[in-house]
Structure 1
């Protein structure tokens, strides 16, 4: 194994670390604000938090692909917050049908996947460059209804068959005292 030791010594001498950078971090940026970050893996992410490392876990947000961070502001002072992220992927389905009635939109689709974790409805608001996740269904559900907010009329929609990747390690921050 002398060759492997030389490679490690050469990497360290060149300024490379033998330890990869953390994949998911939480930083306290004020007494009551936490900023989370993770590398871009090309997937969307479900961000969850809990006040105990064993849960219960609450979904904080579904974030679109290529999002690499989230600011969780105005938290309860002197409280532990535990976070984890889970990547999600899934193809866009082509058979999304919409019916608009006043300020609601009803969506229907066919379920062609036997093993989905659910479906993810995404919306691109007028003038927005990207789609944002707006609704997540359980597996085998083939309809949902959204109430439109002002400015969401004329939005574009798409539906993804949802598949989850592995959960990240849990990261932790305890908020400080308010000033």
Structure 2
């Protein structure tokens, strides 16, 4: 798939799943305001991904109009366990750059699995995305959004209940649809 198709599939996932099912009640506002940066890296190894992550953190520093970045990396860390281990490295970079408390890295992966859940459990779809990605968030904005939300502690339980209600098969179809619908006609 081309870079445009991968970015389009990710955008469709954000629109249809994250915003459409209100998994993150803070996402719609920034999406509508066009303050979400969708970027794909062609990194094929962890070192290159770390460089891309560094560049995106620097971009957030330099461009305050970007609220959040989804750094999509389809060529590296397809294995969820390796991806999960890499998150410590990503957080280490944030600390090394002295950006702790300024930025936070959230995680989304096609095979995302919460601890103590079965791989096929529907609740894992709260964090399953079309491609592996790192979500870079501004902590001050996140804190402000959390402070203004009436029941932030209830979000995870509501999302899990919704995923369980929809079921893993339906969510698998929705996720596959995001990828399929990003391809030009005839593919």
Question: With structure 2 as the length reference, what TM-score do the two structures score?
Answer: 0.25
Which one has the bigger strand percentage? 1
Which one has the bigger helix percentage? 2
Larger Rg: 1
